[in-house]
Structure 1
Amino acid sequence: MPQTPKPKLTILVVVLTAFVTTFTGSALNLSIPDLSQEFHAGAGMVGWLVTGYTLAVAACSVPAGRVADITSLKSVLAIGVGLFTICCIAAVFSISIMMLILIRVVQGIGAAMIFSTNTAVLLKAFPAENHGRVIGYSLAATYAGLSSGPVLGGFLNQHFGWKAIFIVTGVITTAACIAVLRLPGDKNVKNLKTDSCGESHHLLTDTDLHGKTLQQLVRRKSNQQQDPEETLTKPHSLDLTGNLLYLISIVLLMYGLSEIGKGWISPVLAGVGLAVGMFFLRHEYRTEEPAVDIRMFRENIGYGFSNLSALLNYGATFAISYLVSIYLQVVQGFSSQATGLIMIAQPAIMAGLSPVAGKLSDRFSPFKLSSIGMGLCALGTCLFVFLNQGTSLWIVITALIITGFGFALFSSPNTNAVMSCVEETNYGVASSILATMRSIGHTISMVIVTIIVTCCMGDASLAEASPGILIRVIRIAFIIFTGICIAGVFISLKRR
């Protein structure tokens, strides 16, 4: 795979887009009360600023990735960044909550284009032996956005208002727009086809024995079996039916899950979404050029279990910040500002260690490293099970650091493992599936919390709960999250 003439510019584009897509959401969360007051909107309506964005990202990631694989990764990335920038500008001039929600939905579509292409563009810019390292840079920027969002977002909202968040975000994405337009166009290059659908799980044994990267072993096997002059060709079919079924399934499933506990219609919608999803899988399995190659999940153990591991990891860890922040404020009595400074420990560790973990995955088995990371996440969530009213703050910080270290060690190597199992022409869809696993995992994590809260507290909010009941909710939630992480460890190891 030849290296692009502008690898540093590619890293800049990916780092900026990875940072801004996470920063915007985490920063805007602190403006919810002000937005509710300014537009005279209820909590449910304002909540759609988050829900609408999340649904758009989840529903459009795979279609955007498919379009990018068929046409041009750079073009889809450029359109996504441009759309995101335009929405930042439009948000500043919003005159109603409905207008702002619509802008956030469109911005979510732009974010889906970014998520489905920025990792793919990054990997095409560097040789396979450096993939883990550069993936680490991207994830470090993602966690930097998550960690700086509450701090910088709170400052901007308090001193300049919520519009300042969109202004700062727009400036960053404008710089990203200029940078992405300077990237070279996609090229159809001569390369060796990888035997990614059926052999990578056998090659992993060689990875463990000889210290080779998965990409190097796939390439070596290809040398033995393929014509060295064979050219990688782009897929030709958009698979409109498959993409439509996917979009309907994800929207109904995620919306139904996110509204669990608010009436009988939510589980019905989730069930319909699941049923449509079954039709989607059946259609994809029978289609010659599917939007998502379902056969890969069955025939390639490394690819299928790596995506499943990602789903479990996000599902077990996303609600940590939500639960711990409420624990620190309600039980321990810290202010929201102090809580934010304490909570920054986890994403800061993620941002600092992700490049290191990614670089290690270029030298050692990414499957082993991500399994160790999942184990550390299990240890961290297990520590949270023992929280009580007298727990030392240092124990909380230690648990946050352990889960941050575990997630950093899991995420970069696991992403490297997933992308190692697909051909270059499928990078877009592979990236978008990972983004979908993240979105679904986040939703499942909060659904688990919602169900526990409903069973223990009824309609009361966590912020209004007594310390004793809150601790009970936290313990039950983290017992479940620890179990999910332990299951994830076994699934990660199963890839061998």
Structure 2
Amino acid sequence: MPDNPSLSNKSEKNLLLTITMLGSFFTPFMGASVNVALPIISKEFTMDAVSMSWITTGFILSAAVFLVPFGKIADIFGRKKIFILGITIFTIASFFCAIAINGEMLIASRLLQGAGSAMVFGTSMAIVISAFQPNERGKIIGMNVSAVYLGLTIAPVLGGMLTETLGWRSLFYLIIPFGIFVVYSLTFIIKSEWAEAADETFDFIGSFFYMISISSLMYGFSHLPGTFTSILTIAGIAGLISFIIYEQKIKFPVLNISLFRKNRVFAFSNLAAFINYAATFAVAFVMSLYLQYAKGMSPKEAGAVLVAQPIVMTLTTLISGRLSDRYNPGILASIGMTIIIAGLIPLIFLNTETSLIYIIISLVILGLGFGLFSSPNTNAVMSSVEKKYLGIASATLGTMRLTGQMFSMGIATLAVHAFIGKEIISKSNIHNFLNSLQIIFITFTILCIVGVFASLARGKQKINY
């Protein structure tokens, strides 16, 4: 089985691109469609606001914990093997989600889904960049990222429609046939494999330290305030510092710290990604709750409003990916984050009387900014490393994305908890909920302002291969 090939067969290239785009499509589709269904799931399983949020945050936590280790494993043992395993686990976990009998089983199944998605997201971008020529990079990245936003685009409408007509469990059943198709195609049709770091050994000790530390940090932060969760958060930070020190002393680290110390573009592009997702991910979650609880919409109606943002993201990403091959991706990404600020500020002033036009315009601006940020930023990261580091670069970027998403959900959950506690959101506490939204969007705006400077600090892009 050949290693490190760029595919020459056009049909295999197209099939591989289709497969990776399906992987890029279904994970965000699942997340966004489940967000729309959360109130109904919460009612069926009698879950409070904090427990309900763990249907989303449990998935993100699991994915973030496994991304870096599986990215390195993929570089060593083969990216296609890990991608296939990830899709298999994701599909099986979707089945368990569909047959969940209580909230605990659903959250546990979402944790398993997260582990599978870590294998997919830690390898998909690295696979297509390895398989295609360098001059096709921006286009391919743009298409894969647009698949992410297409999933986000379709999810609110299709998710809301399926939830109302067939029930929320149908969202998870929908994944299964596509998972089977992907596994079959990669196993029996595409024979190539990509493992540029096959001569290295896997860092088990570093991986263990990393997984424990990132779990403690993210779980602790998402459950603040509280003495125990504060201790977990501090322990997680201390653990990550120890992990960084340890990784610099071994020959084959699970995460090459020199990529951050010596590669300015890699370091600041990842930092910008973390800040961007921390400031934007929970928008869909809290806006779904706002539209259904404050505006009295059904899941289908809320989905029809929320779809405005990912539609614009999808269209913008296709263009921005190609632009990032011609212009400095750092500048494009910085402009994108500045536009995001312009979209977040109006959401600070939401109330029960806010018009739908006002909301949709804000979401469109957010979509434009995020679409302009994401593809160029991804291109900057993946173009800044050698081929042997593509898997870990993809996994690191994915970890920044998921850690940012987890922090975003943590900020949102913490704010909601501060205003309504563990009560179920209702008409009696809706004004407290709206006050929490104001704090959430002010925090997100401040984060994005910091993110613009982080994005600009990366300097001029240098292509490494």
TM-score in terms of structure 2 length:
0.89
Q: 2:102 and 2:442 mapped to 1: Cα distance? A: 42
Q: What do the CA deviations read for 1:116-160 (whole angstroms, capped 9, x no partner)?
A: 000101111212222121111111111222232232223223332
Change (3 A) 1:342 1:30: closer
2:25 counterpart residue number: 19
Contact 2:97 2:172 in 1 (8 A): yes
Matches within 5 A, 1:41-440: 48-94=54-100, 98-181=104-187, 182-186=189-193, 234=198, 236-261=200-225, 263-388=226-351, 390-440=353-403
Change (3 A) 1:375 1:142: same
Q: 1:361 and 1:469 mapped to 2: Cα distance? A: 43
1:207 counterpart residue number: none
Q: 1:33 and 1:328 mapped to 2: Cα distance? A: 11
1:227 counterpart residue number: none
Q: What do the CA deviations read for 1:217-256 (whole angstroms, capped 9, x no partner)?
A: xxxxxxxxxxxxxxx6545121111111111011111111
Q: 2:410 and 2:55 mapped to 1: Cα distance? A: 18
Q: 1:285 and 1:470 mapped to 2: Cα distance? A: 46
Give the stretch that moved more between structures: 123-132 or 381-390: 381-390
Q: 1:79 and 1:402 mapped to 2: Cα distance? A: 38
Aligned-partner SS, 2:324? helix
TM-fit CA distance, 1:37: 6.3
Runs of 5+ unmatched residues, structure 1? 189-231
Contact 1:235 1:289 in 2 (8 A): no
Change (3 A) 1:485 1:39: closer
Root-mean-square deviation over aligned CA pairs: 2.6
Contact 1:2 1:127 in 2 (8 A): no
Q: Percent same amino acid at aligned positions? A: 37
Q: What do the CA deviations read for 1:387-427 (whole angstroms, capped 9, x no partner)?
A: 45554432221111111000000000000000011111111
Change (3 A) 1:85 1:448: closer
| Number of residue-to-residue matches in the alignment | 452
Give the stretch that moved more between structures: 33-42 or 243-252: 33-42
TM-fit CA distance, 1:334: 4.2
Change (3 A) 1:235 1:11: same
TM-score in terms of structure 1 length:
0.84
Change (3 A) 1:457 1:408: same
TM-fit CA distance, 1:386: 3.8
Change (3 A) 1:321 1:108: closer
Please tell me the residue identity of whatever aligns with 1:277: L
Aligned-partner SS, 2:325? helix
Q: Which has the larger radius of gyration?
A: 1
Q: What do the CA deviations read for 1:134-193 (whole angstroms, capped 9, x no partner)?
A: 1111111112222322322232233323332222110111122122222232257xxxxx
Q: 1:461 and 1:49 mapped to 2: Cα distance? A: 15
Aligned-partner SS, 1:286? coil
Q: 2:169 and 2:294 mapped to 1: Cα distance? A: 33
Give the stretch that moved more between structures: 330-339 or 13-22: 330-339
TM-fit CA distance, 1:52: 3.2
Q: 2:164 and 2:352 mapped to 1: Cα distance? A: 31
Aligned-partner SS, 2:287? helix
Change (3 A) 1:490 1:327: same
Q: What do the CA deviations read for 1:276-330 (whole angstroms, capped 9, x no partner)?
A: 1111111112222111111211211111000000000001111222333344445
Runs of 5+ unmatched residues, structure 2? 460-465
Aligned-partner SS, 1:363? coil
Q: 1:397 and 1:439 mapped to 2: Cα distance? A: 26
2:462 counterpart residue number: none
Change (3 A) 1:290 1:336: same
Q: 2:55 and 2:286 mapped to 1: Cα distance? A: 21
Q: 2:35 and 2:419 mapped to 1: Cα distance? A: 26
Change (3 A) 1:86 1:454: closer
Please tell me the residue identity of whatever aligns with 1:186: E
1:484 counterpart residue number: 447
Q: 1:373 and 1:34 mapped to 2: Cα distance? A: 34
Q: 2:246 and 2:106 mapped to 1: Cα distance? A: 36
Q: 2:96 and 2:425 mapped to 1: Cα distance? A: 34
